[in-house]
Copies of this chain bind each other. A is one copy, B any other.
Amino acid sequence: MARVVVDVMPKQEILDPQGQAVANALPRLGFEGIAEVRQGKRFELEVADDVDDEQLAKIAETLLANPVIEDWTVRRVDS
């Protein structure tokens, strides 16, 4: 078994209302100095050893991310 992390973030040119809501809330709560917040998704997968990188890329692109508005990265991590 291998552990895989897939990060999915809104593309830079896409508005990110969730992240903006967080950024706007910070000064109200007394936290200064945060210029920008962007919110995305993080997936942790437990995959069998015979699942290759091509398959993982396909999973990320078709199921975990919407490639029209989101960028994604896949990386294997030590479990």
Contact A34 B45 (CB under 8 A): yes
Which residue of chain B has the shortest Cβ distance to A51 in the bound complex? B33
Pick from A29, A34, A46, A63 the residue with the most CB of B within 10 Å. Answer: A34
Contact residue range for chain A?
35 or more
Q: A66 near B: Cβ within 8 Å?
A: no
- Pick the contact of A34: B31, B37, B39, B51 (CB < 8 A): B51
Q: Would you give the shortest CB distance from A43 to chain B, in whole angstroms?
A: 5
Say yes or no: B36 contacts A46, CB within 8 Å: yes
Known: A31-B63, A34-B51, A37-B43. 5 other contacts (CB 8 A): A1-B35, A22-B63, A29-B63, A31-B55, A33-B50
